Structure 1
């Protein structure tokens, strides 16, 4: 049995679902960190709709057909991955579990699936590129200054990131009541309530002491030293302008040598603009239900966009996917590839260094079972099994 095959079946049987990992994660990390990870915006309507509406999608099994085996291998932007899912960009990863981005990047590399590093995560472009041997993607929050934009893009190119992801669904930060109550910032505001939460999570404390206070490592070269919380908030507000438009995307397309993907697409008009601007792919997403509570769940615009534009641009999806069957449902609805953020963070928060490997292995195992059950030999054929 090959080493890769061993990884695919190595699952901690105490946690056979992402739901189990979420329950364990809630017990392992401070409340303010868990609520940042777990929560949506406003009343969490879209957060819950994302998953519940994915799960309304039904697949048709085929039990008497000839079956020659199922393969999860998926070609995306000229590279063949071992499964049709990757790790989505997540901010403040090291706050939720120390060293989380490095743990997840290593697991993604070993399992041959993509890892996407956020601009505001807690490891640098260069460190993640080293771990993944230049296979990690980079997600750019659009800076207000062209100088900073150009330098971040240059660093991503020098790190040999094959794909640059630009974010369009954060023109403003979502209104998140939990984070407001918790005084969440980087580093977190140490109120008496938060200190008591930390003292109740000794493993998290020990790992934080071991790896050091989390910081925005990619942004360190541009940040004044010794910022207090108010100064840090002001720096972030002044440094980034989340609202994208055609004029901001065009120069990025001109200077970026690799594949360029637009993340946060939620309607056909923006998908058509992405095609006109020469982008290589788009990720249908609503930021995990963290931006617009009154919007659609992701599965609805995905189906429309994939049907109308799937032959012109690579259409992917994130937000709400929590399991192998969810991946299958999303691909049957038109996604060429899928990404998950919370699922992997639950895994790392629950199981530490083993969390990335376990979560990828779990999702691979679940997806393989679905493929064999419905007699789907190739991930491109999921659409044939969609019950409309």
Structure 2
């Protein structure tokens, strides 16, 4: 399984096409969609695709390696699996599948607060190597209890997401009446029945729920009240003052995710954060917002010597990973491609996606004459 690679799906586009045929439309829309007019989705892709790299071919070159050190851990490649909520809705037990594959392949998997798997279960599956992504609860007691559970489960890295001060306006999800668990409308039922493989595995796994948050939810809460509960209790606005209690409580590496503005990066440095993720939440929150590519370069220049600069949003391939690293990222995260992989191929798809991205990235390094990811900035074409 570790080296599994299916030659029928050599890129993310082919995995996506296959996954679309196996995942109900309402769940695929949740994975695929952005917000408002989805202009931000296209901007993310066009900006990373516009990055140009320059090869150097006549100097001595002994080969490339992908291993990258981050927060004291040496990973097999400079990318990990970004947090995605409701993964188990898109493919049954997707968090468990991806966490296991990431641990086996020695890359970080980041568990979302709103995942369908509990933080304790993922800590067990990943043998303590998964990271945890926290939406800072507005309720101090819930926040403290969550932090205690994360510590008890021995998560090595805490990622606090700050770019969800309100739910994104997502027309696809509004049309689909998306909820967790999904509403049993005639339309949604028809979509489920049209995906028998998904339906069979969902029946085996059980109805997806937000397992980490279940202890804090009122018993038998109607699904149409879930959004209001999340907005009031779990996804409050996070400012610097709100982060200070987390920094004081959490002794391990702390990463602030969802920054674009350099003033916010400066504030994260002041806070004592160990890393930031330059990200626009996969273009799911602010449609007119800028993509992370230019802010990433600025942040790396000004603060790269003080804090680890990570990036997600818009990355789909090994070439995109190389471009982000060349722009100054120390490490990258991808979300959608991994869910496409699991949706297309089941558990094997997790390994296939990791292996495919590694093959693509290694080819880029060799073509450039670049021995390791940290030297990619030397190959960036500055316009």
Scaled by the length of structure 1, what TM-score is found? 0.97
Q: 2:166–2:231: 8 Å Cα contact kept in structure 1? A: no
Deviation of 1:231 after TM superposition, in Å, equals: 3.2
Deviation of 1:237 after TM superposition, in Å, equals: 2.7
Q: 1:92–1:120: 8 Å Cα contact kept in structure 2? A: yes
5+ residue gaps, structure 2: none
**Are 2:17 and 1:42 aligned?**
no
Structure 2: distance between partners of 1:116 and 1:262? 13
Cα offsets for 1:257-312 (capped at 9, x unmatched): 11000000011000000000000000000000000010111111111111111111
Match of 2:264 in 1: 270
Deviation of 1:227 after TM superposition, in Å, equals: 1.9
Structure 1: distance between partners of 2:235 and 2:78? 32
**Are 2:251 and 1:257 aligned?**
yes
Q: 2:164–2:285: 8 Å Cα contact kept in structure 1? A: yes
Match of 2:2 in 1: 7
- Which of 347, 362, 365 lines up with 1:368 in the alignment? 362
* Map 1:237-386 → 2, pairs under 5 A: 237-386=231-380
Q: 1:30–1:197: 8 Å Cα contact kept in structure 2? A: yes
Match of 1:65 in 2: 59
Deviation of 1:79 after TM superposition, in Å, equals: 0.5
**Are 2:96 and 1:123 aligned?**
no
Q: 1:167–1:242: 8 Å Cα contact kept in structure 2? A: no
Deviation of 1:230 after TM superposition, in Å, equals: 2.5
Pick which of 71-80 and 241-250 moved more.
241-250
Q: 2:61–2:369: 8 Å Cα contact kept in structure 1? A: yes
- Which of 125, 138, 153 lines up with 1:159 in the alignment? 153
Scaled by the length of structure 2, what TM-score is found? 0.98
Structure 1: distance between partners of 2:52 and 2:229? 47
**Are 2:28 and 1:28 aligned?**
no
- Which of 49, 68, 71 lines up with 1:55 in the alignment? 49
Structure 1: distance between partners of 2:38 and 2:127? 38
Structure 1: distance between partners of 2:245 and 2:227? 28
Pick which of 245-254 and 216-225 moved more.
216-225
Deviation of 1:61 after TM superposition, in Å, equals: 1.2
Structure 2: distance between partners of 1:234 and 1:165? 23
Structure 1: distance between partners of 2:348 and 2:230? 33
Q: For residue 12 of structure 1, give the secondary structure of its aligned residue in structure 2.
A: coil
Structure 1: distance between partners of 2:227 and 2:325? 39
Q: For residue 144 of structure 1, give the secondary structure of its aligned residue in structure 2.
A: coil
Structure 2: distance between partners of 1:330 and 1:167? 20
Match of 1:3 in 2: none
Match of 2:101 in 1: 107
Pick which of 67-76 and 218-227 moved more.
218-227
Q: 1:157–1:257: 8 Å Cα contact kept in structure 2? A: no
Q: 1:317–1:335: 8 Å Cα contact kept in structure 2? A: yes
Deviation of 1:198 after TM superposition, in Å, equals: 0.8
Q: 1:171–1:244: 8 Å Cα contact kept in structure 2? A: yes
Pick which of 349-358 and 201-210 moved more.
349-358
Structure 2: distance between partners of 1:168 and 1:124? 21
Q: For residue 212 of structure 2, give the secondary structure of its aligned residue in structure 1.
A: helix
Deviation of 1:364 after TM superposition, in Å, equals: 0.4
Q: 2:179–2:224: 8 Å Cα contact kept in structure 1? A: no
Q: 1:328–1:382: 8 Å Cα contact kept in structure 2? A: yes
Deviation of 1:240 after TM superposition, in Å, equals: 1.8
5+ residue gaps, structure 1: 1-5
Cα offsets for 1:312-340 (capped at 9, x unmatched): 11000000000000000000000000000
